[in-house]
């Protein structure tokens, strides 16, 4: 038996160690975390890391995790994004219960505390233009210069701040700044802006405000208001932690949160930046935020990725403190591993080629049993029709095959899955010389896929009966960018993959697929995992490829690949 530790999660990563230790030392009782998205776009898989961490530790330590919209910039935020974020967090499997908050809920309190900073001499109104402010800020090697407005008396600052709030100045005319140190080595501490003037309508507070707090000012104070114990954020906020603490130390806050930083999730070949994703959508480079090529949670969902696979992937990535780049094949591997376990098998011919079984009677058809899942007998079987005319995969035939090609070719015998052995007898071509049909014969003795005389075939093909197959459009997704570091040469759009979407217009599916509900994922045998797209309708089916069957990452990293069901040599 393994000895019980203080908490089963201690030792899993440095964040959980900190939390377990804080609890053991009695520094905190109930753990409260938060996920604080800015509603200026859809969530991407990078956000999933933060969501899994914040909601995960709250659950493991019997605490709470708040969903807080960091809605402090009304010029970029929209209700559509607020709704999408809530939907995607829920889809990922997390529940904030009653703990739904908005930074805008605290605007009045934040303003009152800002007046407190003004009256205690810790903040001042600066009239410098944005350009002059930038110029006076200095550089990493040079200190900044004090603003000529830095020593305004508190009473004058207070009057100006109130006039700002009352709407007496245009955008950009003045800001409220913390009075810290223009020579600080940490640039964040060089009198950061706390409030700016923005005459804009806010999705929640309408036109009540024309000044809005900055992230740096709103965040820590919102944490304190909500009683957050551990404010977990990504490494780029490490430099902001001294400011986070500086503000909390000077305000009459009801609780004292602490900030901890972890590494952002980066995945080679994916762009995890809402700014770029926004431009992909706005420039119609993709079909929307939920385009299956997008690294958004909505895109992953539409592609058929199960939320449990996203959670498992995040768990495997781990919670390191140093930045790194994850191989996208690891994500595919995790998705495939889960779908291999759960997805029912179906037959679908993506690029159909007609096969005519010459010795099968024209009027005849029979029903065969196809196994729904090779490792899960509980999924049972389904009937598939076998008849004289069938579809097979165009790639499964070669007129003049190389040595290692074991599938159909003139004179070659193969197995049709769940059905019979067939032998190719004649190749039919159109005037352009393209193969348009194959005449074959079948061996009635091989029903079910075995020959009584023990002869073997080296390939098993999937197929669909021409009489009852249903046509469908198939969307195959390839990487959206052509290189692992999109934009490294400056223009991320120059690295877009022109072949990121490949559409097959005339696939032929077994009839069971016509009624597959949206959200269900199946394995098309030998092809990969597929799910109906929301564009799909009864007469016009559309399927997305979630992920193919190939396991390059498994091979490279020496992991056990899931069994490759239905794969053939050749
Ligand atoms: P983006 O750079 O895509 O605009 P952001 O950090 O501005 O992302 P927010 O809405 O502010 O987006 O993010 C909410 C939370 O998600 C923050 O705590 C942020 O640290 C975290 N987060 C964002 N991107 C990642 C990522 N790639 N990996 C881990 N956490 C992330
Ligand atoms: Mg942000």
Closest residue by Cα to residue 164 from 206, 136, 195: 195
- Residue of 50, 53, 86, 214 best suited for mutating to test ligand 1, as the one with most atoms within 8 Å of CB: 50
Quick one: pLDDT at residue 405?
Answer: 95
Whose atoms come closest to the Cα of 46: which ligand?
Answer: 1
Ligand nearest, relative to CA of residue 278: 1
Pairing label, strands 100-102, 64-69? parallel
* pLDDT value at 11 more than 90: no
Q: What is the pLDDT of residue 77?
A: 83
Residue with tokens 């090779």: 374
Predicted confidence band of residue 10 (pLDDT cuts 50, 70, 90):
low
Q: Is 220 exposed, middle or buried (0-12, 13-18, 19+ CB in 10 A)?
A: buried
How confident is the model over 410-437, as a mean pLDDT? 97
Quote the CA–CA distance of 19 and 6 in Å, as a whole number.
Answer: 11
* Average pLDDT of the residues of the chain: 94
Asked if the model's pLDDT at residue 1 lies above 70, the reply is no
The whole-number pLDDT of residue 551 equals 66
Please tell me the predicted confidence (pLDDT) of residue 564.
34
Going by alpha carbons, the residue nearest to atom 16 of ligand 1 is 47
215 Cα: distance to centroid of ligand 2 (angstroms): 8
What is the pLDDT, as a whole number, of residue 443? Answer: 98
Query: Does pLDDT of 451 surpass 60?
Result: yes
Q: What's the confidence (pLDDT) of residue 321?
A: 86
Given a contact cutoff of 8 angstroms between Cβ atoms, the answer to whether 371 and 523 are in contact is no
Instruction: Select from 46, 89, 241, 314 the residue to mutate for testing ligand 1; criterion: most ligand atoms less than 8 Å from CB.
Output: 46
The per-residue pLDDT for 567 is: 35
Decide if pLDDT at 485 tops 60: yes
Ligand nearest to the CA of 54: 1
Closest residue by CA, ligand 1 atom 25: 46
* Section 437-454 average pLDDT: 96
For residue 434, the CA-to-ligand 1 centroid distance in Å is 52
Spacing, Cα 36 to ligand 1 middle (Å): 9
Q: Which residues line ligand 1 (CB under 6 A)?
A: 36-38, 46-47, 49-50, 233-234, 264-265, 272-275
- Pocket test of ligand 1: the residue of 15, 47, 314, 321 to mutate, having most ligand atoms within 8 Å of its CB, is 47
Two structure tokens written together for 308: 């449990």
Q: Which residues pair with 528 in a beta bridge?
A: 524
pLDDT of 552 strictly over 70: no
Beta-carbon neighbour count of residue 130 at 10 Å? 12
| Nearest-atom index, ligand 1, CA of 277 | 3
* CA gap 527, 59 in Å, rounded: 38
Ligand 1, closest atom to CA 275? 4
Active site residues: 38, 264, 274
What distance in angstroms lies between residue 38's CA and the mean position of ligand 1's atoms?
Answer: 8
pLDDT confidence bin for 78, thresholds 50/70/90:
confident
Q: Is-contact 408 424, C-beta < 8 A?
A: yes
User: pLDDT confidence of 259, banded at 50, 70, 90?
Assistant: very high
* Ligand number, closest to the Cα atom of 35: 1
pLDDT for 29 beyond 80: yes
In the chain the first and final C-alpha atoms are separated, in Å, by 49
pLDDT band at 563 (very low <50, low <70, confident <90, very high): very low
What's the pLDDT score for residue 9? Answer: 55
User: What is the Å distance from ligand 1's center to 46 Cα?
Assistant: 7
How many Å apart are CA 398 and CA 409, to the nearest integer? 5
- Condensed to tens digits (0 to 9), the pLDDT of residues 103-133 reads 999 999 999 999 999 999 999 999 999 999 9
Q: What is the full DSSP assignment across 259-274? A: EEEEPPP-BTT----H
What does each C-alpha distance from 194 to 68, 113, 135, 143 come to in angstroms?
19, 11, 18, 20
Distance 100 CA to ligand 1 centre (A): 18
Q: And the tokens for 5?
A: 């530790």
**CA 222 – ligand 2 centroid, Å:** 15
Q: Hey, whose CA ends up nearest to atom 3 of ligand 1? A: 273
pLDDT in tens, 378-389: 999 999 999 999
Give per-residue pLDDT as tens, 199-228: 999 999 999 999 999 999 999 999 999 999
């Amino acid at each position: 038996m393994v000895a019980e530790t203080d908490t089963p999660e201690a030792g899993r990563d440095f964040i959980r160690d900190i939390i377990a230790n804080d609890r053991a030392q009695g520094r905190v009782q109930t753990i409260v975390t938060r996920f604080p998205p800015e509603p200026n776009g859809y969530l991407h898989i990078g956000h999933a890391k933060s969501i899994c961490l914040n909601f995960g530790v709250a659950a493991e330590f019997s605490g709470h995790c708040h969903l807080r919209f960091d809605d402090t910039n009304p010029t970029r935020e929209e209700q559509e994004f607020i709704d999408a974020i809530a939907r995607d967090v829920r889809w990922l499997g997390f529940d904030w219960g009653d703990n739904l908050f908005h930074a805008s809920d605290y605007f009045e309190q934040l303003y009152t505390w800002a007046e407190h900073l003004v009256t205690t001499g810790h903040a001042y109104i600066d009239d410098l233009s944005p350009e002059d402010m930038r110029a006076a800020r200095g550089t990493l090697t040079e200190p900044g210069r004090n603003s000529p407005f830095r020593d305004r008396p508190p009473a004058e600052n207070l009057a100006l701040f109130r006039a700002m709030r009352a709407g007496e100045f245009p955008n950009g005319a003045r800001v409220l700044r913390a009075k810290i140190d223009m020579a600080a080595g940490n640039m964040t501490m060089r009198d950061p802006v706390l409030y700016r003037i923005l005459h804009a309508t806010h999705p929640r507070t309408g036109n009540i405000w024309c000044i809005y707090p900055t992230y740096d000012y709103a965040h820590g104070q919102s944490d304190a208001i909500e009683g957050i114990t551990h404010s977990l954020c990504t490494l780029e906020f490490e430099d902001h932690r001294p400011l986070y603490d500086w503000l909390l130390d000077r305000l009459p806050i009801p609780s004292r949160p602490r900030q901890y930083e972890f590494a952002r999730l980066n995945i080679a070949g994916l762009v995890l930046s809402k700014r770029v994703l926004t431009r992909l959508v706005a420039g119609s480079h993709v079909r929307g935020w939920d385009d299956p090529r997008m690294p958004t949670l909505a895109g992953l969902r539409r592609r058929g990725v199960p939320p449990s696979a996203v959670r498992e992937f995040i768990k495997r990535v781990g919670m390191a403190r140093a930045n790194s780049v994850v191989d996208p094949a690891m994500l595919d591997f995790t998705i495939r591993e889960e779908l291999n376990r759960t997805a029912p098998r179906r037959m679908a011919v993506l690029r159909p080629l007609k096969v005519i079984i010459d010795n099968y009677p024209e009027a005849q058809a029979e029903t065969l049993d196809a196994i729904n899942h090779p490792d899960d007998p509980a999924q049972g079987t389904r009937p598939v029709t076998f008849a004289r005319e069938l579809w097979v995969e165009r790639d499964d035939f070669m007129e003049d095959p190389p040595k290692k090609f074991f599938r159909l070719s003139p004179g070659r015998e193969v197995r049709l899955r769940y059905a019979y052995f067939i032998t190719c007898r004649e190749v039919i071509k159109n005037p352009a010389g393209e193969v348009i049909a194959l005449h074959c014969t079948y061996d009635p003795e091989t029903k079910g896929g075995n020959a009584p005389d023990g002869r073997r075939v080296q390939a098993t093909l999937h197929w669909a009966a021409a009489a009852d197959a249903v046509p469908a459009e198939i969307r195959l997704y390839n990487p959206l960018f052509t290189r692992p570091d999109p934009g490294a040469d400056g223009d991320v759009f120059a690295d877009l993959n022109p072949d990121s979407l490949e559409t097959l217009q005339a696939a032929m599916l077994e009839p069971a697929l016509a009624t597959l509900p949206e959200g269900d994922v199946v394995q098309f045998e030998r092809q990969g995992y597929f799910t109906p797209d929301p564009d799909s309708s009864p007469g016009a089916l559309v399927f997305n490829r979630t992920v193919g069957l190939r396991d390059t990452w498994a091979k490279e990293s020496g992991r056990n690949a899931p069994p490759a069901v239905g794969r053939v040599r050749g």
